[in-house]
Chain A
Amino acid sequence: AQSVTQLDSHVSVSEGTPVLLRCNYSSSYSPSLFWYVQHPNKGLQLLLKYTSAATLVKGINGFEAEFKKSETSFHLTKPSAHMSDAAEYFCVVPGKLIFGQGTTLQVKP
């Protein structure tokens, strides 16, 4: 069965420092994988998606993620955090509508 595991429930960074949000997947084949962001009391917005094309995927707001089959990972990164990045982030297997448990990103001034 397919699943995703977000390795950190909470990540805290200082503004201007790099962000790393970790997602591992479990699947017998290379799945499509998406990252969504949810700001407080808002719906989810797609950040970026991997669909078996380029393994390094660039998304909105300076985020990117690299699909690594050997590590079964799809970690989300950003070189420099901004206060507006504070939100909940979900790693998702879109075809099966499987959501990770979410990672809360806190950005300190």
Chain B
Amino acid sequence: DTEVTQTPKHLVMGMTNKKSLKCEQHMGHRAMYWYKQKAKKPPELMFVYSYEKLSINESVPSRFSPECPNSSLLNLHLHALQPEDSALYLCASSPHRQAEAFEQYFGPGTRLTVT
């Protein structure tokens, strides 16, 4: 199974809502990533988890809160978002964090719209 799944596929939320994005992989990968992607732009790295520990936070606002409950699951908790946070949120995994030779496997993304 080389699949990364993400739920939900689409999410519309108001600026006062709290919601969560979920990502799951069963490839035994020990590194997991959250990216934000705006239209016609490359993915921007947000967070990296390595062996269930947060190893990189790319100065992401605190209204985004990641969580890695176990090696297969990655969540992104959302609270008090702004309209400019509307984007495609991609999850990825790789065997290890030192990805010089390891490809990342990407999920299909969650299309988030903040109203």
Contacts and interface: CB of A to CB of B under 8 A. Distances in A.
B106 A94 contact: no
Interface string B35-46: 000001111010
Contacts of B104: 44, 46, 94
Nearest to B90: A43
A3 interface: no
Interface stretch (B14-22, B64-72, B107-115): B107-115
A101 B42 CA distance: 6
Secondary structure of the B side of the interface?
A: loop
A95 B98 CA distance: 6
A97 B45 contact: yes
Interface residues on A, range: 20 to 34
Nearest to A45: B106
Given A41-B109, A43-B4, A34 B103 contact: yes
Contacts of B40: 88, 102, 104
Interface of A: 32, 34, 36, 41-46, 49, 51, 88, 90, 94-95, 97, 99-102, 104
17 contacts: A32-B100, A34-B103, A42-B108, A43-B106, A43-B109, A44-B104, A44-B106, A45-B106, A46-B104, A51-B100, A90-B42, A94-B99, A94-B101, A94-B104, A95-B99, A102-B40, A102-B42
Interface of B: 4, 33, 40-43, 45, 48, 88, 90, 92, 98-104, 106-109, 111
Given A51-B100, A102-B42, 4 more contacts: A41-B88, A43-B4, A44-B106, A88-B40
